Amino acid sequence: MAEMPFPERNEEVRIEPEGLDGLLGIPDGATGIVIFAHGSGSGRLSPRNNHVAAALRRAGLGTFLLDLLTQNEERDRRNVFDIDLLASRLTLATGWIGDNPRTSGLVPSYFGASTGAAAALTAASHLGSSIAAVVSRGGRPDLAINVLPDVRAPTLLLVGSLDGPVIEMNQRAYDALKTEKQLFIIPGASHLFEEPGTLDEVVRHATDWFNAHLRPPTPPQQG
Q: Give tens-digit pLDDT for 81-133.
A: 899 999 999 999 999 999 999 999 999 999 999 999 999 999 999 999 999 99
Q: How far apart, in Å, are the Cα atoms of 23 and each of 54, 99, 199?
A: 11, 17, 21
Cα within 13 Å of Cα(118), Cβ side? 22
- Going by C-alpha positions, the residue among 9, 10, 85, 7 that lies closest to residue 44 is 10
Domains present along the chain, CATH in parentheses: 11-210 (3.40.50.1820)
- Whether the CB-CB separation of 169 and 142 falls below 8 Å is answered with yes
Q: Give tens-digit pLDDT for 30-80.
A: 999 999 998 766 678 778 889 999 999 999 999 999 989 888 888 888 888
* The amino acid at 55: A
Q: How far apart, in Å, are the Cα atoms of 103 and each of 4, 24, 80, 196, 211?
A: 21, 10, 28, 34, 18
Radius of gyration of the chain (CA): 16
| pTM of the entire predicted model | 0.90
Cα within 13 Å of Cα(135), Cβ side? 27
β-pairing, 155-160 vs 107-113, is unpaired
Q: Give tens-digit pLDDT for 145-185.
A: 999 999 999 999 999 999 999 999 999 999 999 999 999 99
- Going by C-alpha positions, the residue among 8, 37, 46, 43 that lies closest to residue 24 is 8
β-pairing, 134-137 vs 20-25, is unpaired
Residues paired with residue 37 on neighbouring β-strands, in sequence order: 112
